[in-house]
Amino acid sequence: MNPSAAIRKVFQGVATRKQMYRMFDRHAQRPGRWDGDASSLYAGEWFEIAEAEHDYMFEILPPLWIRGSMFAMREFLTDSVTSVFFSLRIDGVIRHFHGYCDLSERSMAEHMRLAIVERESRPLRSMSRQERLEHIWSSTADDYRDYAGDRWPQSNRGHRTVVLYGCKEGTFLKLLDDLTDDEISAKLPVHLRHLPLSIAA
């Protein structure tokens, strides 16, 4: 049901403040929102933000901690997951990122920092299939994305769905993970459709 708990990029480009706030809870519509611990659902997600958003978040509350180029928010999303903000020099340019780290794993923030630097240091802009799917999920309005419910086979229930537009079929729901390459391309913004496909996220 949940995306992999591995460290993963969930939005391509620099998120605006509105997009940033929306992505703070990308899974708000999930079934059983208030049941159980959602730490594994959020932990590992990251995306880029602008310097103004980074500084704004730093000034909201005193950080839980500051370690070099990163700081953690005092308010936790789940029992052990909170926002960590990064200012990282990549190819000679300072860039800013938000990530959800499970602080019960002592080294997760450092692992995320290294993963972001590695991912963003690639010489050629590219996106993996999973990054494309996560970007579609992040950028699709709530009215056009959902989770498979009772009308779906038992094995599909709880999986993410998005609305597609077919010529003859009209609008219909399809599992996010089952989108074809052509459907993914159609759902991506024009400037992302022709990026090379990378193997690793």
- Give domain status of residue 3, yes or no: no
- Give domain status of residue 101, yes or no: yes
pLDDT > 60? residue 82: yes
- Both 116 and 133 in one domain: the answer is no
Using CA atoms, how far residue 191 sits from 13, 55, 186, in Å, is 10, 28, 11
If one counts the domains in the chain, the total is 2
Long-range own/partner contacts, residues 173-177 (CB < 8 A, 24 or more apart): 173/146, 173/148, 175/148, 176/133, 176/136, 176/137, 176/145, 177/133
- Give domain status of residue 72, yes or no: yes
- Both 74 and 96 in one domain: the answer is yes
Write down which residue in 90, 120, 150 finishes a domain.
120
Tokens 């299939």 belong to residue: 129
Write down which residue in 92, 120, 148 finishes a domain.
120
Residue with the bigger pLDDT between 39 and 145: it is 145
Are the CB atoms for 113 and 86 separated by under 8 Å? yes
- Both 29 and 82 in one domain: the answer is yes
Angstrom distance (rounded) from CA 153 to CA 51: 45
Centroid of chain to Cα 19: 11
- Both 27 and 51 in one domain: the answer is yes
- Give domain status of residue 199, yes or no: no
What residue numbers bound the domain in which 133 lies? 129-192
pLDDT digits over 100-158, tens only? 999 988 899 999 999 999 999 876 677 888 999 999 999 998 889 989 888 888 888 88
